[in-house]
Amino acid sequence: MTSVLLDPTVVLTAGLLVAVIVLAGAALRAWQGWLDLKRQELGQLAVRPAGEEGSGLGTARIELADLKERIRKLEAIASGVEL
């Protein structure tokens, strides 16, 4: 007479259930770590010194103005107008 607990199907099912639980725990822990990293990045953005705010925006505006000036000059050259 074989024991129901030693049946290969029951052993395989229990092993797979344990594996799924371990993998789910690892995935949950990784997800929490990723969320903590993103919270830390957002916290660093909020605590930047006042001098650094908008520095990227100012640089972008200067570059945009420079590009517009260059386009204006190129259009003038193309139309034959002296600057």
Is pLDDT above 70 for 12? yes
Q: What are the pLDDT digits (tens) for 18-56?
A: 999 999 999 999 999 999 999 998 888 776 655 555 567
State residue 21's pLDDT score. Answer: 97
pTM of the model: 0.48
Q: Give the Cα separation of 43 and 40 in Å (integer).
A: 5
Please write the tens of the pLDDT for every residue from 52-77: 555 677 788 888 899 999 999 998 88
> 55-81: string of b/e by CB count within 10 Å (b at 16+)?
eeeeeeeeeeeeeeeeeeeeeeeeeee
